[in-house]
Amino acid sequence: MRPWFTTEQLSPDTWVISEYRHWEETHCYLLIGEDRALLIDTGLGICNIYNEVRKLTDKPVTAIATHIHWDHIGGHKYFPRFYAHQAELPWLQGEFPLSAETVREMVLDRCEAPEDFDINTYEMFQGTPARILQGGETLDLGGRTIQVLHTPGHSPGHLCFWEEARGDLYTGDLVYLDTLFAYYPSTDPDAYLASLEAVAALPARRVLPAHHSLDVPPALPTQMRDALRQLKREGKLRHGAGTFQYDGWAIWL
């Protein structure tokens, strides 16, 4: 059986750690600076991502989730020094809108879990961040700086990360090649469009999503923005409007 984590090097100091044995095909990104490293998302929490990270760097690591959904914070327990957006703090303190049972069903859904994995011990991560973000911060890793963008829509405190010097845009669940989710009560279709307007305006040379194919055309955020603008003009950018299919992606409202 293939290993749980698949690690690929994107540049000499940037890695993607993927979990292809779950249907969500989650990606976490490790950005290594001269002084410290940033781990964007910590994955499903089924296997120990800390051991993978330690194979790649011995620098201090700060974890930041693109948002507080279970599939992006599963490894936070290994990184007590993590940052989170203010809008999602209640979800780290017992107020996540799904039950533990529902989350466990999603963990096992279309998942080739390791034999020794016990779903009964799976808990959605809860904790207190070392730093609370609002969006607009610049994170200095030593020799590389990462901008924090507040991009709500998929979730209220969703973050994208922009490394301007390289043209790298880390898009989390805002932009990826598959069905985007903007139908749960905690999503906001209008905010989703506003966030796409913001990221589409950046001169991204590479778009790095949190799920599915890593081969994302840099023009995808612009295509999504245009599609959502059209839905808005038609009065369809609202909860309950249905699922709309496009070339290589869809949005469920």
Report the interface residues with Zn ion, using CB under 5 A: 69, 71, 173
Nearest residue (CB) to Zn ion, 25 versus 163: 25
Nearest approach in angstroms of CB 155 to Zn ion is: 6
| 167 backbone φψ class: left, alpha, beta (φ>0; ψ -120 to 50) | left
Give the β-pairing of 206-209 and 168-172. Answer: parallel
Nearest approach in angstroms of CB 33 to Zn ion is: 25
Nearest residue (CB) to Zn ion, 73 versus 237: 73
Quote the CA–CA distance of 170 and 113 in Å, as a whole number.
27
Q: Are 187 and 155 in contact (CB under 8 A)?
A: yes
Nearest approach in angstroms of CB 72 to Zn ion is: 6
Nearest residue (CB) to Zn ion, 53 versus 210: 210
Nearest approach in angstroms of CB 216 to Zn ion is: 15
CB neighbour class for 60 (10 Å; exposed up to 12, middle 13-18, buried from 19)? exposed
Q: Are 173 and 195 in contact (CB under 8 A)?
A: no
Nearest residue (CB) to Zn ion, 69 versus 76: 69
Nearest residue (CB) to Zn ion, 135 versus 172: 172
Nearest approach in angstroms of CB 61 to Zn ion is: 21
Closest CA to 158 of 237, 62, 87, 80: 87
